[in-house]
Amino acid sequence: MDKTLHLAIFGFAFVVGIGPAMSQSADEPTRDLLASQIRDQGFTCDKPKGAEREVKESKPNETVWILTCENDTYRMTVIPDMAAKVEKLKK
């Protein structure tokens, strides 16, 4: 998928409120989109296991997620129309 289209779809999901309102069973698209974005930015995320939104850390237009992958865990700050801020967390 074209990176620009991918980011547009990802941003649209959050603008319309799909991301924060997802149930556990619908979490897979969020987890997979975050994993794809992190890989596009040069990080490794083999087999994403989960994505949890950090409500207290998030701000308007800055959604913070903890992305758990098979190999690592990351804190991602997703900002519309920008690359995510990524911090690798210690296991």
Q: Domain coordinates of the chain in residue numbers?
A: 3-89
Task: Please tell me the distance from the alpha carbon of residue 90 to that of residue 64, in angstroms, as a whole number.
Answer: 17
Residue 17: per-residue pLDDT: 46
| Tens-digit pLDDT profile for residues 20-60 | 444 444 545 689 999 999 999 999 998 999 999 999 999 99
Is the confidence at residue 84, as pLDDT, over 90? yes
SS3 state at 88:
strand
Q: Which residue has the tokens 């997979």?
A: 32
pTM of this prediction exceeds 0.95: no
